[in-house]
């Protein structure tokens, strides 16, 4: 293991990272920093979130910046406002002893005029979300003709969010002699395309295996009936009293619904999704980062850019449609050398998707058994006792009140006093789980239902019997045990048909890209089912007509797109 001194960093940067508590470089830093300092070539680095990527490319960028030239010499592209601010903050921390070096974040959701004024005063490094950077380029404020380095951080996230054309536009405007550094958690076909088109003979550095989840994360799944998912979530949260984590949901509606239920049931939870205003998002994230909020219920898009190192759990209330999203979700825990747990709450129809994720991330999920009410009560009781033991007693402050307290409680024996103190905080769990039935496994329920059907005498004709037999399942692109031709949209969503499919090269992110390109307002996209020659996807009912009209003007791989309601 090398030290930061041995990596070739200058004294001002070594002094800054030392004050930040950096002792030894992390694997991605040990691999990337010498490569960037030693030679001017393009680079593709595959590493999970939370592995120290910002310092890996940020420290060499600072070393290569000429402070005497007050013009942008490097651009860092990232998918979200939150990540943009986090990267800019980290770079400023590393550059605290480099006099005159200016780092400017630019992102949507904030005043563009203030960002214009800051850029006009001069910036050496621009950290940007693609949309806002293009806006500033078109206004002639962000000039990139002197840029020598372009970094794409969480490139796979940017492509999944539909920024492919924006990235193409930015890279076309940067001098051809630039050096491009691409950082990603997964190596998807779109990442390979960007690397092929815009990088020159890039060196590839892989920390762990390609598309593999971090080794510090323990993967567990709980199989429940679909109707019991929320009850299972409560049991999991109750069983881990010190949980500090994110609950991922598939849609904005589901996110708000689950957060509201948790808050109503007495949990310290907040919702984070795209319908919140920027001020609400900032307040929610501030409360979560400081630990004031214990559970953040979020959609994939809203949670991108969350940078919290000490999360204990990530809970998937519904599995995502692709393995890349799962990798990013689970990568929110087990960071900075810590261990974490990624929990999937699934029903039988999601088992195929789980197996596919296992193959891609090269990790087996451990089947979990939901804790009983008694086990949960024992855990919570021990938490109460631990909290009592750790209470700091301020003798001087409470001394004036003790005589009155002693007189008031004098009639209670020691055992009675302990019982009452524990019960004051513990009764909620005792009362809830005292009569709560244990959740049944889906297999047990199906077996009983089949037995009831078999015992029921049949009064149907042979033709009716044949018609009642379950139809053969269609092949799902994710290997799930369900028929995509028969699936109905979730409540509040409309199911749409599109006339291109897997055989045309269509992937879920292409549908999202087309919607983002053609629709000005943000559209909430639900489940996507890819078939060989066509596909289905869900959008909010109130936006369905707008999406149909917009996408019928689109072309995909030279073919005219046709979109209509699935029914």
Task: Give me the DSSP letters along 443-485.
Answer: HHHHHHHHHHHHHSPP-S-HHHHHHHSPPPPP--TT--SS-TT
Query: Class for domain 493-565, per CATH?
Result: alpha beta
Mean per-residue pLDDT of the chain: 82
How high is the pLDDT of residue 337?
A: 64
110 contacts: CB under 8 Å, gap ≥ 6? 81, 278
297, 272 in Cβ contact below 8 A?
yes
In this predicted structure, which of 130-134, 182-186, 443-447 has the lowest mean pLDDT?
A: 443-447
452 contacts: CB under 8 Å, gap ≥ 6? none
Question: Do the strands 149-152 and 179-184 form a parallel or antiparallel pair, or are they unpaired?
Answer: parallel
User: Can you name the residues that pair with 489 across neighbouring β-strands?
Assistant: none
Structure tokens at 322: 């692709």
Alpha helices in 323-393 (DSSP H): 323-330, 351-361, 373-390
Query: Residue 292 has what DSSP assignment?
Result: S
Please give the Cα distance from 109 to 132 (Å, whole number): 9
Please give the Cα distance from 255 to 271 (Å, whole number): 6
Multiple choice CATH, 5-206, 3.40.50.300, 3.40.630.30, 1.20.200.10, 3.30.2130.10 = 3.40.50.300
The 10s digit of each residue's pLDDT in 81-120 is: 888 888 998 999 999 999 999 999 999 878 899 999 999 9
**Please, what sign has the CA dihedral across residues 155, 157, 160, 162?**
negative
Task: State the CB neighbour count (10 A cutoff) for residue 22.
Answer: 18
Strands (E), 1-55: 43-46
Confidence bin at 261 (pLDDT 50/70/90): very high
Burial class (CB in 10 A: 0-12, 13-18, 19+), 169: middle
Q: Given a cut of 90, is residue 154 above it in pLDDT?
A: no
277, 305 in Cβ contact below 8 A?
no
Please give the Cα distance from 212 to 324 (Å, whole number): 9
19 contacts: CB under 8 Å, gap ≥ 6? none
Higher pLDDT, 391 or 67: 67
Task: State the CB neighbour count (10 A cutoff) for residue 277.
Answer: 9
| Average pLDDT of span 27-42 | 83
How high is the pLDDT of residue 214?
A: 57
Phi and psi based region of residue 336 (left: phi greater than 0; alpha: psi -120 to 50; beta: remaining):
left
Higher pLDDT, 135 or 28: 135
Torsion of CA 219, 223, 227, 231, to 10 degrees: -60
The 10s digit of each residue's pLDDT in 383-434 is: 777 777 778 888 888 899 989 988 888 888 888 887 887 777 667 666 777 7
Please give the Cα distance from 447 to 536 (Å, whole number): 32
Task: State the CB neighbour count (10 A cutoff) for residue 454.
Answer: 8
Please give the Cα distance from 284 to 299 (Å, whole number): 14
Question: Measured between alpha carbons, how far apart are the two ends of the chain, in Å?
Answer: 61
The 10s digit of each residue's pLDDT in 472-493 is: 333 333 344 456 667 778 788 8
Confidence bin at 43 (pLDDT 50/70/90): confident
477 contacts: CB under 8 Å, gap ≥ 6? 502, 529, 530, 531
Asked if the domains at 217-370 and 493-565 fall in one CATH topology, the answer is no
Please give the Cα distance from 164 to 513 (Å, whole number): 8
Q: Given a cut of 90, is residue 126 above it in pLDDT?
A: yes
At CA 32, angle to CA 31 and CA 37, rounded to 5?
120
Please give the Cα distance from 308 to 303 (Å, whole number): 11
Please give the Cα distance from 191 to 5 (Å, whole number): 33
Q: What CATH number should be reported for the domain whose range is 217-370?
A: 3.40.50.300
How high is the pLDDT of residue 443?
A: 62
Task: Give me the DSSP letters along 207-249.
Answer: SSSTTPPPTTEEEEEEE--GGGHHHHHHHHHHH-TT--EEEE-
How many whole angstroms from its chain centre is CA 542? 26
Domain boundaries of the chain, sorted by first residue: 5-206, 217-370, 374-434, 493-565
The 10s digit of each residue's pLDDT in 454-464 is: 555 444 443 34
How high is the pLDDT of residue 467?
A: 39
Please give the Cα distance from 48 to 168 (Å, whole number): 24
Share of the chain above pLDDT 90, in %: 27
Closest C-alpha to 355, from 318, 363, 347: 363
pTM summary value: 0.56
Please give the Cα distance from 373 to 377 (Å, whole number): 6
């Amino acid at each position: 293991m090398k030290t930061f001194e041995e990596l070739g960093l200058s004294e001002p940067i070594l002094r800054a990272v030392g004050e930040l508590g950096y002792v030894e470089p992390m694997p991605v830093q040990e691999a990337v920093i010498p490569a960037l300092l030693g030679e001017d070539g393009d680079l593709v680095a595959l590493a999970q979130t939370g592995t120290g990527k910002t310092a890996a490319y940020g420290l060499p960028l600072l070393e290569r910046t000429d402070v005497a030239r007050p013009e942008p010499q490097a651009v860092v592209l990232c998918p979200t406002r939150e990540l943009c601010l986090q990267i800019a903050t980290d770079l400023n921390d590393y550059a605290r002893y480099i006099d005159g070096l200016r780092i400017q974040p630019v992102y949507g959701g904030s005043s563009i005029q203030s960002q214009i004024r800051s850029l006009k005063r001069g910036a050496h490094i621009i950290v940007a979300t693609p949309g806002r950077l293009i806006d500033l380029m078109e206004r002639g404020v962000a000039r990139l003709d002197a840029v020598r380095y372009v970094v794409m951080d969480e490139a796979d996230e940017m492509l999944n969010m539909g920024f492919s054309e924006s990235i193409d536009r930015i890279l076309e405007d940067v001098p051809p002699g630039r050096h491009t550094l691409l950082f990603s958690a997964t190596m998807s076909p779109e990442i390979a395309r960007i690397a092929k088109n815009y990088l020159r003979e890039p060196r590839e550095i892989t920390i762990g295996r390609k598309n593999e989840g971090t080794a510090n994360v323990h993967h567990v799944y709980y199989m429940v009936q679909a109707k019991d998912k929320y009850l299972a979530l409560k049991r999991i949260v109750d069983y881990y009293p010190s949980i500090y984590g994110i609950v991922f949901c598939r849609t904005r509606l589901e996110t708000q619904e689950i957060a509201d239920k948790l808050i109503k049931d007495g949990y310290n939870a907040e919702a984070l999704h795209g319908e919140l205003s920027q001020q609400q998002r900032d307040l929610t994230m501030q409360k979560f980062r400081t630990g004031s909020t214990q559970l953040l219920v979020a959609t994939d898009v809203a949670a991108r850019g969350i940078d919290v190192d000490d999360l204990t759990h990530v809970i998937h209330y519904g599995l995502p449609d692709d393995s890349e999203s799962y990798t990013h979700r689970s990568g929110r825990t087990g960071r900075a050398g810590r261990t974490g747990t990624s929990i999937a709450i699934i029903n039988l129809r999601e088992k195929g998707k789980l197996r596919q994720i296992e193959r891609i991330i090269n990790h087996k999920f451990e089947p979990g058994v939901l804790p009983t009410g008694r086990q949960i009560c024992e855990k919570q009781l021990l938490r109460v006792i631990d909290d009592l033991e750790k209470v700091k007693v301020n003798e001087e402050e409470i001394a004036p009140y003790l005589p009155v307290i002693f007189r008031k409680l004098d009639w209670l024996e020691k055992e009675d006093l302990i019982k009452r103190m524990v019960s004051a905080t513990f009764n909620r769990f005792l009362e809830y789980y005292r009569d709560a039935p244990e959740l049944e496994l889906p297999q047990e329920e199906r077996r009983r239902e089949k037995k009831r059907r078999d015992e029921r005498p049949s009064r149907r004709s042979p033709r009716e019997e044949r018609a009642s037999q379950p139809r053969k399942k269609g092949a799902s692109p994710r290997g799930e045990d369900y028929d995509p031709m028969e699936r109905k949209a979730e409540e509040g969503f409309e199911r749409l048909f599109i006339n291109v499919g897997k055989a045309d090269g269509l992937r879920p992110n292409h549908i999202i890209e087309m919607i983002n390109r053609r629709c000005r307002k943000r559209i909430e996209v639900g489940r996507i089912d890819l078939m060989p020659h066509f596909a289905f996807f869900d959008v909010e009912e109130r936006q369905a007509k707008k999406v149909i009209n917009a996408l019928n003007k689109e072309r995909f791989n030279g073919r005219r797109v046709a979109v209509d309601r699935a029914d």
